[in-house]
Structure 1
């Protein structure tokens, strides 16, 4: 009985220590270490943010004919086909200027793709494509906040263009990754730091506690 009580107490203490360690509280992490880690996280955030400014990126917008369910689904179908075509080409681009030339050379091709998708869906909407500099309000894209201003962009308008638009960033190419992982895009040749969330840390702590609970039963 005493031995089992001792095991239970050990289990509780281990879980408490894991909670302290994994969540970044207490003696397992010194003040100086926390300060260094915080500084590194801040630098990573600033590097990512500085890489997405009006003067160094290209946006992509697809504007739906209306907000009806059918028109919105059509918008996404056009988006998918366009990104499927430009993704492999822009993935090899090393600069804003190179990406700009690639996109300009594909104007007619991308417009024809959009028109084809619209026809395949049984619509006769007119489709237009514009490449230029347009004013946009401040927007957030995953963990990135884009200030309001004039941005270079490729814009495809379907029909009247009265519906909600879908947008992403073509260069640097984060249209092709999950929005939640936007901070993993390389910045100045370095991988941006991916920060663990408190939920992920808590989950790891719970997994350790589960292991020890099973072990001591």
Structure 2
């Protein structure tokens, strides 16, 4: 009788513990969905023109830049560290842009600037980017009169492969493929808590007491 009572009490306490701690852990680990100019760095690429070839060139420059930048920023733990990394890569990134343009058979000039630029408010699904002056790496190709492409370098929300995210036009401008990290994190946490099913612990204690 005493064993049965102990078994029931343990199962009740475990269930209460998981129900209570689960939401707290979900809340503390959930990715934020609102960003401000104070906690991110953006990436901006402006094409020479809106011609098909110039737009494709813009994406080619973007892809090569992100291949170099993304792995390094993925290891960054702060905005300051990311800023130092990007400032140290200035010449390298400019050389990459020039190389891609040359490989595509163009002689466009290219300008790269790491500074502060004005951006309007943007909303992409659950992610909101408030309007304001943001730190950004900006690349201008040729006359820089074409449609632009931008994303968030830090925290890392850029995709090279546009198939991995949905482009949603906003305010008539080209949409930005943003990472769906929040949804991925939510799924991972759900799976994590499914594995921590209190019934499994109760089964263990039932065997122990029997």
TM-score (norm. length: structure 1) = 0.62
Report the equivalent of 1:184: 181
1:88–1:185 Cα change, 3 Å: farther
1:47–1:82 Cα change, 3 Å: closer
Following superposition, which runs of at least 4 residues in structure 1 exceed 6 angstroms of deviation? none
Report the equivalent of 1:59: 42
SS in 1 for 2:32: helix
Which whole-Å CA distance do the structure 1 matches of 2:117 and 2:46 have between them? Answer: 14
- Within a 5 Å distance, the mapping from 1:4-153 to structure 2 comes to 48-50=32-34, 52-153=35-136
How many equivalent residue pairs? 152
Deviation (angstroms), 1:88:
1.4
Which whole-Å CA distance do the structure 2 matches of 1:63 and 1:142 have between them? Answer: 24
Q: Which runs of 5+ in 2 are unaligned?
A: 1-19, 167-177, 189-210
Q: Which runs of 5+ in 1 are unaligned?
A: 1-35, 196-217
The two structures, once aligned, show a CA RMSD in angstroms of 2.9
- Per-residue CA deviations over 1:23-59 (Å, capped at 9, x if unaligned) read xxxxxxxxxxxxx9xx99xx69x95224x21110000
Which whole-Å CA distance do the structure 2 matches of 1:154 and 1:124 have between them? Answer: 22
Which whole-Å CA distance do the structure 2 matches of 1:89 and 1:149 have between them? Answer: 26
Structure 2 contact 122–129 (Cα < 8 Å) conserved = yes
SS in 2 for 1:85: helix
